[in-house]
Amino acid sequence: MAPARTRIKTEASSIRPSQIEGRVVKKRGTLLESLANKKGTPGIKVERGVKVKAEPVTTVPRSGDDGGEGPFPGFSRPYEEECRSVTRRLIELHGDPQKGWRSGEGDDADAEARHLIHGEDRLQVEVERVSVLDSLVGTILSQNTTDKTSHKAYASLKSAFPTWESVRTGDPSKVAESIKVGGLSEIKTGRIQSILSAVHKERGECSLEHLRSMSDEYIKRYLSAFKGVGPKTVSCVLMFCLQRPDFPVDVHVWKLAVALGWVPAKASREQTYEHLNRKVPSDVKYDLHVLLVEHGKVFNNDAKHLRPCVKEALRRIN
């Protein structure tokens, strides 16, 4: 255990509460950001033998449909009422992200998941994340690992290399050693140093703060040009750091969306992101994302607790 404790903040918690399309995003700790960042493996079959059952496709005409845009033209779901109904049900199950989390009941595995999700298992040594570059690197470090180890990797990196300039010019083997706990350290080191070198060459410094004044589409194009930065990573930066109304899709959100019939059964995670980012109302994107991730972790991506409210929402629409 390290001798000192430094409070960690995500980008969302390091600035004042703001509005995302009318919904207040309150100050949060690191856990809300990390919920979005665990990268899963492709496939429809879920760990521990739980299979995702895709709901039948329902395409009831409505105003405000995609109009041919997106990966699934004419695929109407999820409807706005579905999104709001599922969000309300998830709040009943897991608590309101805007008001803090409450502990749930369940077996030991569920209790462990809730313990971590609800922020009771804080790292002894934590660091502040406040910049766009902090957010981007932290999200890259979270790929293919757990929330807890990604926090450790980030804290270790900043302890060994306090500035992004020192990471850029550092010995790759030493940088990799500092993030070894998070796994894939050599690959992540190469990607991080490549990004830092490109940014420094373009901007004359290791900073991405200029993105704060740019449009969502510009930010997506800019960040996606870097190797190892996919739609989920960019979406996490947009939502948690820049507080934009975007909807990250991790493996939990993806599998639950398939199970609820919100996307076709064979939809990829990237297609699911493109579709849901158009369909989910902006004012519930933050809550619905965070709650779906938690639900997926706690209930192993089982949608049985959510199907009744979806069916009721569809009944009202029809």
Residues β-bridged to residue 18: 25
∠ CA(191), CA(142), CA(136), 5° rounding?
55
Per-chain mean pLDDT for the chain = 78
DSSP element (H, E) containing 18: strand 18-20
What is the model's pTM?
0.72
pLDDT greater than 60 at residue 278: yes
pLDDT of residue 234: 97
Cα separation, 104 vs 144, whole angstroms: 26
Q: What's the average model confidence in pLDDT over 72-96?
A: 95
pLDDT above 70 as % of the chain: 69
pLDDT greater than 70 at residue 55: no
Contact indicator for 269, 38 with CB cutoff of 8 Å: no
Assess whether 232 carries a catalytic annotation. Answer: yes
Looking at residue 251, its amino acid is V
Contact indicator for 10, 126 with CB cutoff of 8 Å: no
Q: Which of 232, 255, 285, 297 is catalytic?
A: 232
CA-based nearest residue to 303, from 255, 245, 237:
255
Contact indicator for 137, 178 with CB cutoff of 8 Å: no
Residues β-bridged to residue 128: 9
pLDDT greater than 80 at residue 196: yes
Q: How far is CA 163 from CA 8, 14, 80, 153, 159, in A?
A: 16, 18, 44, 15, 9
How far apart, in Å, do the first and last CA atoms of the chain sit? 58
Pick the range with the lowest mean pLDDT from 29-43, 124-138, 139-153, 228-242: 29-43
pLDDT greater than 80 at residue 10: no
pLDDT of residue 147: 80
Pick the range with the lowest mean pLDDT from 18-32, 142-156, 202-216, 243-257: 18-32
